[in-house]
């Protein structure tokens, strides 16, 4: 029994999934379908990264989604779902959209359009250079919440990534001012992230409401594989609950640690990370040692299923 997971923003790199595009018809066609739906030359961005577009949120998200989904579709074509035996799917933030394609809730074109809009909305949700995020190493989410409350800090947890890594969001001045407080309270590292805004916080609420309107225009299908949603870390097959969680994802915390703990309650023994990089595999190894983890990022990784 296995779970399939998909990465989020931060795992992008130049030329990701291009080896699949060059060697498999299904990969090439999947890229083409996403590009037709979004009217973005995604492969050019991934290959050339002109003007550092891969690190601009409005392009980053659709590029990572494309790479992850291309690899997934190729795996299904070359290996088959019956070999991977997925009993659950989920993803980190934007990775949830790849998971919803994988479990049949969203078709590829609709998911691509939503991700394009999501990236644009998040990119422009708040004036540039006024808000940001920081990764805190060495304390768990409960500890971080306690420090925030005790010191009346106007920041929030955006990503509960592992018991030793939490990401916070807020206005840039508040993010900067909080560093000394966290260091004095025993965190090992406080790393300001190179992101365009305070994602997964109240500063995304207007953008989230606008995305809700776009989600309402989309027809969702019954899922063929249950999903763990970021918003509530609950295993879901109910379409209405899946949609509700998706609508509330952008301005709320990514409950990654809770999601892995929920996975521990199942009989699943293997996790397959599909998409660029091995960020999620690293996070999971800091949460639990229960699972065998396979990362599928390059064509050579397909041999792991032989």
On whether both 121 and 135 belong to a single domain, the answer is no
On whether both 148 and 251 belong to a single domain, the answer is no
pLDDT digits (tens, 9 = 90+) for 281-295: 999 999 999 999 999
Helix (H/G/I), strand (E/B), else coil: 163:
coil
Query: Does some domain include residue 45?
Result: yes
On whether both 85 and 57 belong to a single domain, the answer is yes
Q: Is 28 labeled as catalytic in the residue annotation?
A: no
On whether both 248 and 154 belong to a single domain, the answer is no
Query: Does some domain include residue 197?
Result: no
Q: Is 200 labeled as catalytic in the residue annotation?
A: yes
- Among the listed residues 2, 105, 200, 259, the single catalytic one is 200
Residue 306: the pLDDT is 67
Confidence of residue 129 (pLDDT cuts 50, 70, 90): confident
On whether both 271 and 220 belong to a single domain, the answer is yes
Domain boundaries, position 154: 131-192
Mean pLDDT of 18-32: 97
Residue 92: the pLDDT is 97
Buried b / exposed e along 91-126 (16+ C-beta atoms within 10 A) = bbbbbbbbbbbbbebbbbebbbbbbbbbbbbbbebb
Query: Does some domain include residue 164?
Result: yes
Q: How far is 231 from 37, CA to CA, in rounded Å?
A: 27
Total number of domains constituting the chain: 2
Which of 149, 168, 192 delimits the end of a domain?
192
Beta-bridge mates of residue 296: 274
- Among the listed residues 93, 131, 201, 229, the single catalytic one is 93
On whether both 56 and 110 belong to a single domain, the answer is yes
Mean pLDDT of 167-193: 97
On whether both 268 and 233 belong to a single domain, the answer is yes
Dihedral sign for Cα atoms in the order 270, 102, 9, 253: negative
Which of 192, 221, 236 delimits the end of a domain?
192
Domain at 284, CATH number: 3.40.366.10
On whether both 36 and 163 belong to a single domain, the answer is no
pTM: 0.95
pLDDT digits (tens, 9 = 90+) for 30-61: 999 999 999 999 999 999 999 999 999 999 99
Q: How far is 183 from 102, CA to CA, in rounded Å?
A: 41
Which of 192, 210, 239 delimits the end of a domain?
192
Q: How far is 199 from 280, CA to CA, in rounded Å?
A: 18
């Amino acid at each position: 029994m296995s779970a399939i997971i998909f990465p989020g923003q931060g795992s992008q790199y130049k030329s990701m999934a291009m080896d699949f595009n060059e060697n498999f018809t299904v990969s090439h066609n999947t890229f083409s379908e996403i590009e037709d739906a979004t009217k973005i030359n995604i492969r050019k961005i991934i290959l050339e990264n002109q003007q550092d577009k891969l690190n601009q949120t409005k392009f980053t998200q659709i590029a990572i989604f494309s790479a992850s989904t291309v690899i997934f579709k190729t795996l299904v074509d070359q290996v088959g779902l019956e070999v991977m035996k997925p009993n659950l799917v989920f993803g980190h933030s934007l990775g949830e959209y790849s998971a919803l394609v994988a479990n049949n809730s969203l078709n590829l074109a609709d998911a691509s359009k939503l991700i394009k809009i999501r990236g644009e909305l998040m990119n422009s949700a708040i004036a540039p250079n006024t808000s940001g995020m920081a990764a805190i190493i060495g304390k768990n989410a409960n500890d971080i919440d306690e420090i925030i409350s005790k010191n009346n800090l106007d920041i929030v947890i955006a990503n509960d990534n592992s018991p030793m890594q939490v990401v916070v969001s807020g206005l840039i001045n508040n993010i900067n001012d909080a560093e000394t407080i966290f260091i004095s309270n025993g965190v090992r590292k406080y790393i300001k992230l190179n992101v365009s805004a305070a994602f997964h916080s109240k500063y995304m609420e207007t953008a989230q409401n606008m995305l809700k309107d776009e989600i309402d225009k989309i027809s969702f299908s019954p899922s063929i594989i249950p999903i763990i949603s970021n918003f509530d870390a609950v295993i879901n097959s109910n379409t209405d609950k899946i949609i509700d969680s998706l609508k509330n994802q952008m301005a709320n915390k990514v409950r990654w640690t809770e999601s892995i703990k929920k996975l521990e309650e199942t009989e699943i023994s293997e996790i397959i990370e599909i998409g660029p990089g091995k960020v999620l595999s690293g996070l999971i190894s800091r949460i639990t040692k229960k699972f065998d983890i396979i990362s599928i990022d390059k064509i050579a990784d397909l041999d792991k299923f032989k």
